[in-house]
Amino acid sequence: MARTRYPFPVKDDLVPCSDGGGIVVELGADVKTLQLGDHVIASFDSNNLDGLAPGLKRESLGGNVDGVRYQYIALPAQVLTKVPEECGISFVQMASLMASGVTAWNALFGVLPLKAGQTVLF
């Protein structure tokens, strides 16, 4: 990104990083899906919350919109996924779920799902 070799559009003065986890410290008046103190991770693409990515019309955190490298950040509730505290994972582990975790899941179960008897190399 710093050398302008990133393959997607990047806004000027970008705040980087797409993977983040945190604790909800404030809520908008209309938010019904989250509570103060919830542990959450954010989807890096607010236009694609499920299914196949719709082409390249993306609003990607840390790409063409500011990312999550803030102490505090305001995000739409619909891009946040609650992570139960009792799962016992760190914020670093939580943050890796959205991009790296989803990439791994797609490699195994996405467009060409893994079939019984196939081998996975890693």
Burial class of residue 29, CB neighbours in 10 A (0-12, 13-18, 19+):
exposed
pTM of the predicted structure, to 2 decimals: 0.71
pLDDT band at 16 (very low <50, low <70, confident <90, very high): confident
Q: What is the rounded average pLDDT for all residues in the chain?
A: 81
Closest CA to 42 of 12, 14, 72: 72
Q: How many CB atoms lie within 10 A of CB 80?
A: 18
Using one digit for the tens of pLDDT, what is the confidence trace for 41-92? 888 776 666 666 655 556 777 777 777 887 888 888 988 889 998 888 888 8
Cα 19 to Cα 21: distance, rounded to the nearest angstrom = 7
The tokens of 105 are what?
């899941």
Label each residue of 56-103 as H, E or C. Answer: CCCCEECCCECCCCCCCCCCCHHHEEECCHHHCCCHHHHHHHHHHHHH
Cα 12 to Cα 2: distance, rounded to the nearest angstrom = 11
